[in-house]
Amino acid sequence: MTSTSEWVVAVLLVLSGAMVLAAGLGLWRLPDFFLRMHAPALASTLAAWIVTLASIVHFSARGEGLSLHVWLIIIVLSITAPVTTMVLARAALFRRRQAGDALPPALKPRRQERPPPSPR
């Protein structure tokens, strides 16, 4: 493996670690469960993509050509992470409803379209 590819892999892994640290800070600083869901979902997904890119660079530099077998991991992660986040949000909302706690405000409905002018 060349030293250039080693440096690229090292920089990508440090960048990924910084993203996970940002996700951890978001968990620590945000006050509500629903707000806390966003920080790790966004930052850790980006960190996983960066680690995947680092793995592709590493295995491609070690092997004889472009190595894309790592894509299987990130594809499965990209499918399962949003589904898991949505299930957790629905479970938390259900528990709040059952407990009688205040729910997050509903989205505002769209403005009503004006009816077309009547013919004279």
Q: For residue 23, what pLDDT is reported?
A: 87
Give the C-alpha distances (Å, rounded to integers) separating 19 from 25, 38, 63, 67, 101: 10, 13, 28, 25, 33
pLDDT digits over 65-100, tens only?
A: 777 788 888 888 888 888 888 898 889 888 888 888
In a domain, 54, yes or no: yes
In a domain, 69, yes or no: yes
pLDDT digits over 37-63, tens only?
A: 877 777 878 888 999 999 999 888 887
Q: For residue 115, what pLDDT is reported?
A: 66
In a domain, 110, yes or no: no
In a domain, 106, yes or no: no
In a domain, 48, yes or no: yes
In a domain, 60, yes or no: yes
Q: Residues of the chain with pLDDT > 70: what percent? A: 87
Q: For residue 67, what pLDDT is reported?
A: 75
Rounded to whole angstroms, the Cα distance separating 90 from 84 reads 10
The domain tally of the chain equals: 1
In a domain, 57, yes or no: yes
Chain position carrying tokens 């590493």 = 58
Chain position carrying tokens 């499965």 = 76
Q: For residue 53, what pLDDT is reported?
A: 92
In a domain, 111, yes or no: no
Confidence tier at 113 by pLDDT (50, 70, 90): low
Q: Which domain holds residue 29?
A: 3-98
Write 112-116 long-range contacts (CB < 8 A, 24+): none
